[in-house]
Structure 1
Amino acid sequence: MSADMAAGASVADALNKQLQGRPIRLAHGDLRFVPQSELPEGEAYEAFIHRSACVPTRENLHDLLNGLIWLHWPLLKAGLNAAHIEALKRSGGVQAQRGPLRDALTVVDENAALMWAPPELCEALEQRDWQGLFIRLRPLWAQVRLDLIGHALLEKLMQPRKPICAHVLLMPMGSVSTQQDAALDPAWLASKPFLPLPVLGVPGWWAANEAESFYADTGVFRPAARAQTG
């Protein structure tokens, strides 16, 4: 794919070449990537994808990564699109405010990660117990599956910085056999069940985190907010 782009192919054309011989079927046709100019003025981006099975694509890294997520997670992306369409129907079309479901869907699309992990790690993440998560329970990370699905998150990681966080969705262990099986319940997403995870803290993802002092930075590894009493 990089060779195609180096030879002058557009982002859309390079992505479409990856679909040759393995088409991805959506509700209204086979998935294609098209130039951003094909999105009609006044039509919502998600509505256009649903109607045409075409993903408007600009000549930039952000949209290239979005296309790659479509290629690797087609059912998940199609499910997010369908949830957007249902939310648009309920609201009577595009509104000034997206509402909780569409807000959550956008977070998933841009910055989410899916995590399958032992209960002890899940509890530590929920409690923002960073020392437990990354130091005391470090051996358990060998059992973790962590998939980054947000294309803006991937774009940020092209220039890694310690504060970069993913919006993590905890998934039941053993619930997915392949990437293509992942599905997210819109009602669950609307409750915004996201947990922050500084991804460069993941064991094996960044050489500096081999030192325990890496996790002492409370500007990144922030403790959970305490409930106010009085």
Structure 2
Amino acid sequence: MLEGIVWERPWLAPYRERGQRVAAQLLRGSSVSEALNAQAPDLDLPLFVPQSELPEGSAYEAFIFDTGRVPTRDNLHDFFNGLIWLHHPGLKRRLNALQAAEIAAQGLGSQRGAVRDALTLFDENAALLQAPEPLLDALRQRDWQRLFMQLRPLWAQARLQLFGHALLEKLVRPRKPITAHVWVDGGARPDAKPFAPLPVLGVPGWWAGNEAPGFYADAAVFRPPRVL
């Protein structure tokens, strides 16, 4: 399960120390839930439990909210989900509460609905970005040359942290098209999916290949904005 994780990757820096401790316990034979619980004795966190504790037909998010337990499989996806819980418990609890509220109000149908879709996208694939306004504006406009080339020095003033656990899982095997969703507009409820796409390997300093001429000219990855 841990094969391929390179902890020296820049996007893993916030999770490196604790992630390596969890990984070490897995190598000694612990389950993912056991290894995560061992790292959180003093944190206000739900209890990580085996996936088998989730009753058949129960909604995952509602179960977490109602019981304070996170069903956890022994795989890479749930390993990274647990690391995010350890590092951002407040945000994870807020997302879970919003999901549970939507389930209580709308029930479980064949489709999640706009709000649950947006919450799930954030939980699985979001990145948190604090940056000078020119960078944020270029990102909103999908002006890739300005964002990554003309404004490249401004990235030294930016703080980017990957939040989505599915995103971290995909980046175990980095590929140029892997894209994060960055929250760029505030608001109490993310009904309109106010996210901007950010090709992660385009971030200056995060991938040696983006120093090469023409890296950002790949229109299959760095797509121009849609014409309405």
1:196 to partner: Cα distance: 0.6
Structure 1 vs Structure 2 CA RMSD? 1.2
The 1-side partners of 2:184 and 2:160 are apart by: 10
Match of 2:156 among 138, 142, 145: 142
Query: Counterpart in 1 of 2:145?
Result: 131
Match of 1:10 among 23, 28, 31: 31
The 1-side partners of 2:54 and 2:121 are apart by: 22
Query: Counterpart in 2 of 1:159?
Result: 173
What percent identity do the matched residue pairs reach?
60
Query: Counterpart in 1 of 2:89?
Result: 74
Total equivalences in the alignment: 207
Matched, 1:52 2:73: no
Match of 1:39 among 28, 46, 54: 54
Query: Counterpart in 1 of 2:222?
Result: 221
TM-score by length of 2: 0.88
Cα deviation digits, residues 82-107 of structure 1 (max 9, x gap): 0011111221x211111100000110
Q: What stretches of structure 2 of length at least 5 have no aligned partner?
A: 1-21
1:139 to partner: Cα distance: 0.3
1:203 to partner: Cα distance: 0.3
Where in structure 2 are the equivalents of 1:105-124 lying within 5 Å? 105-124=119-138
Query: Counterpart in 1 of 2:44?
Result: 24
TM-score by length of 1: 0.87
8 Å CA contact 1:114–1:170 kept in 2: the answer is no
Query: Counterpart in 2 of 1:85?
Result: 100
Q: What stretches of structure 1 of length at least 5 have no aligned partner?
A: 26-30, 172-183
The 1-side partners of 2:59 and 2:23 are apart by: 30
